[in-house]
Chains A and B, each alone.
Chain A
């Protein structure tokens, strides 16, 4: 169903397609565990264009393609090559079309992946566009919730941190609105979720916006923590106070339900104190490990 489609926004993936990805990712996990090698993508080439630094996402895409038996070509510092010469993204993509079967793009500007998809018939996968979307991260987040808690529907997901610039949470909240989930958005006023994202959500979606984390902790099934960047604050004192009030530590863990989890798209800095890592509720490393099988599923379904 995803065959030959571009994945730019989480809304480009329909409900049936999402179930198909979950199922395939489960199969891929088994293959990875068994140590078997796959040749599903033999002879296929993935081109990656990262116009913004990223280690995790990029390695995860490249590893996924290679695990599937395909190969990868990449422009590491895309910034220094074509952009410096004044080439448009449109031209870069038209050029890449001849070299590859699937194109993965991370770009600092919103809408970049959508633009790319307009200039090639090859499928484009958005690996993050400015503060816009990061759909494969969202799929792996949903996959993690399902795997950890059995299902997404009926669960309460509390998202805390930078809801304004954090693209992973924009895609995530949009996706959660398609499940029967309840979402608490916890952020200081200057980092609250932008209207353009909220306006995309259905009116009957259970969305609760608050500044107070401890109020919503007891009902939370998934605590999704994001990084708060110092650069977003003009006043360093304000940054310190925000960081202080949203820091996740063993006390936070105590206040949560028995069967609940903590997620984070990583890299984390100070948001989660390291002594939380050994709690069974700390799901962020397990979440990161789902990145490869989920991306293997997405790539193989697109090129399958």
Chain B
């Protein structure tokens, strides 16, 4: 270990979210509702060098599992992220996030005049049109939303 390296200690049990687009780690934390009341120990790498991506963000959270809806939400802003589940210092499961074909209950329609934005018993529901560039369509009003609009409308 030389002067220029700072070693981050391994986590015993928890989750690693790797290959996040540079700068998006804070968004991922907010998706996971991680704020100043956090109790887990977390290391966050922002714009760290990556052999595969040039630069990337990476998040390592001790003692935390992700729910399916959280992984779906992460896939909308970090479609190439990899999730690793760590148990007793070892990775026991590793999988890429995957954009769901039907996006339910995690995005609010950005069309203010969409019926789903009224007091009706439905969740926002979208169909995936394209992964790159990211484009989804509201199953009710049929409007499309791009990455920027989706990021601004994550529930």
Contact = CB atoms under 8 A, between A and B. Distances in A.
A110 interface: yes
B135 to A, nearest CB: 7
A111 B115 contact: yes
A115 interface: yes
Contacts of A272: none
B120 A110 contact: no
A111 B121 contact: no
Contacts of A132: 141-142
B143 interface: yes
Interface in A15-52: none
A71 interface: no
B135 A111 contact: no
Interface stretch (A144-152, A194-202, A243-251, A261-269): A194-202
Interface in A109-138: 109-112, 114-115, 118, 129-133
B15 interface: no
Interface in B105-153: 109, 111, 113-116, 118-122, 129, 135, 137-144
Given A90-B121, A110-B111, A199-B135, A115 B144 contact: no
Contacts of A108: 113
A133 B144 contact: no
B122 A110 contact: no
Contact of B140 (A86, A111, A196, A199): A111
B118 A196 contact: no
Interface in B66-125: 109, 111, 113-116, 118-122
A196 B113 contact: no
A135 to B, nearest CB: 12
Interface in A180-224: 195-196, 199-200
B122 A90 contact: yes
Contacts of A130: 113, 141
A89 B144 contact: no
A132 B116 CA distance: 14
A202 to B, nearest CB: 13
A107 interface: yes
Given A90-B121, A199-B135, A115 B116 contact: yes
Residue from A88, A111, A129, A199 with most neighbouring chain B CB atoms (10 Å): A111
Nearest to A9: B142
Contact of A111 (B119, B138, B144): B138
Nearest to A117: B140
A162 to B, nearest CB: 16
B31 to A, nearest CB: 25
Interface of A: 9, 86, 88-90, 107-112, 114-115, 118, 129-133, 195-196, 199-200
